[in-house]
Structure 1
Amino acid sequence: MSRSSFLGWPVIRQFRSGDVTGRGRSVTSERTRAITSRTEEADTVAQSVCPYCAVGCGQLVYAKDNRVIQIEGDPDSPVSRGRLCPKGAASEQLVNQSGRLTRVLYRAPKGTEWQSLDLETAMDMIAERFLESRRRHWEDRDADGRPLRRTMGIASLGGATLDNEENYLIKKLFTAAGAIQIENQARI
């Protein structure tokens, strides 16, 4: 049937097929029937957790050729039962956004230019600075001789994009290092 055929009009198809309410296949075009979901093309599906807030909604991450093609709510998640907020539903853009940084950038003190560093070098720099600050600002006892065992040179401000387990481990790490200034944006 050609596009311009009178018998191909949706209203005519509707009555010819017996679908008088117009809720069946008679009102669906051939083009619409041929459309398939992006998730059908996926090679792999991985379960994940939304990175945006502390709720921890479950996500299904669909990938094809090692590239994320779709992220949807996980219906098996006891937290979100398949639903995502607008940010969570758009988190595929977080992965595939063209402006996303995929390398470590470093600007030296008083520097005006950013330079690329490999991850191992950056992690070593952070660890060295963390340990040096802890050592330099360590307070073992107060003026009256009472034990303190703390450092005032390190503080932590966590983000709500981390899940409970990550925040728990960060709290344990900083407490073990002697930091007492530990806060989280989700609580403030």
Structure 2
Amino acid sequence: MAGFQFLEWPVIRQLRGADPSGRGSAVTSQATRNIAPRTRDADTVVQSVCPYCAVGCGQKVYAKDNRVIQIEGDPDSPISRGRLCPKGAASEQLVNSARRVTTVRYRPPYSADWQDLDLDTALDMITDRFLEARRNHWEEEDEEGRPLRRAMGIASLGGATIDNEENYLAKKLFTAAGAIQMENQARI
């Protein structure tokens, strides 16, 4: 075995050193001693909130050269006290995945192919369709003249990867537009 030194054998280190129980430095290998935390090289650490559900677990986001390198639970968070569920612990992949879509994708009706759109064009298309649906499906009052003021052609399904504040604003927007069918994917 190349590089093996008898005095570095864990049992010998245990008997010779200050760790007779063999639960600390005596049984730590050189490879383990050489490991450095991923967060050591971070030049920025910011507090954030996990984007997945309504619990609001605290996260520490570590970045180097404006790129996220690690996301961990925030021990200062009164909600999660440094713990994250598996989705929250893997949220770094949400940012750095090579498969992450970073453009607006649009598939025209009856087409099998997707195309990229610039953001302004996509927002204009959404706005036009939203206003048309509201205009075509607006109900001012029922058959007996009672006020309804609703748009039955608009519904909202919020995503679990936006935070509580964003979902709150989406709810306010759709309520103001007259929509009454609103749900969040995290509850389904």
Alignment TM-score, normalising by the size of structure 2: 0.91
Q: How many angstroms does 1:112 deviate by?
A: 2.0
| In 1, Cα distance between equivalents of 2:18 and 2:180 | 73
The 3-state SS of whatever aligns with 1:102 is coil
1:174 alignment counterpart: 174
Structure 2 gap segments, 5+ residues each: none
The 3-state SS of whatever aligns with 2:154 is strand
The 3-state SS of whatever aligns with 1:63 is strand
| In 1, Cα distance between equivalents of 2:133 and 2:145 | 23
The 3-state SS of whatever aligns with 1:169 is helix
Q: Does 1:45 align with 2:45?
A: yes
**Aligned Cα root-mean-square deviation (Å):** 1.7
Q: Which runs of 4+ in 1 moved over 4 A?
A: none
Q: How many angstroms does 1:174 deviate by?
A: 0.7
Contact 2:58 2:74 survives alignment (8 Å)? yes
The 3-state SS of whatever aligns with 2:46 is strand
Q: How many angstroms does 1:134 deviate by?
A: 0.6
Contact 2:42 2:63 survives alignment (8 Å)? yes
1:101 alignment counterpart: 101
| In 2, Cα distance between equivalents of 1:167 and 1:46 | 22
Letter in 2 for 1:123: L
1:23 alignment counterpart: 23
| In 1, Cα distance between equivalents of 2:164 and 2:101 | 25
Which moved further from structure 2: 37-46 or 152-161? 152-161
1:85-124 equivalences under 5 Å are 85-124=85-124
State the Cα deviation string for residues 4-40 of structure 1 (Å, max 9, x = none): 2222211111111142111232222233212110001
1:130 alignment counterpart: 130
Q: How many angstroms does 1:120 deviate by?
A: 1.6
Q: How many angstroms does 1:163 deviate by?
A: 2.9
Q: How many angstroms does 1:156 deviate by?
A: 1.2
Q: How many angstroms does 1:141 deviate by?
A: 2.1
Q: How many angstroms does 1:103 deviate by?
A: 0.6
Structure 1 gap segments, 5+ residues each: none
Q: How many angstroms does 1:66 deviate by?
A: 1.7
Identity %: 74
State the Cα deviation string for residues 84-130 of structure 1 (Å, max 9, x = none): 01111111122221111111110111122111011121111111111
Query: Number of paired residues?
Result: 187
Letter in 1 for 2:35: I
| In 2, Cα distance between equivalents of 1:88 and 1:25 | 32
1:36 alignment counterpart: 36
Which moved further from structure 2: 20-29 or 66-75? 20-29
The 3-state SS of whatever aligns with 1:150 is strand
Alignment TM-score, normalising by the size of structure 1: 0.91
The 3-state SS of whatever aligns with 1:71 is strand
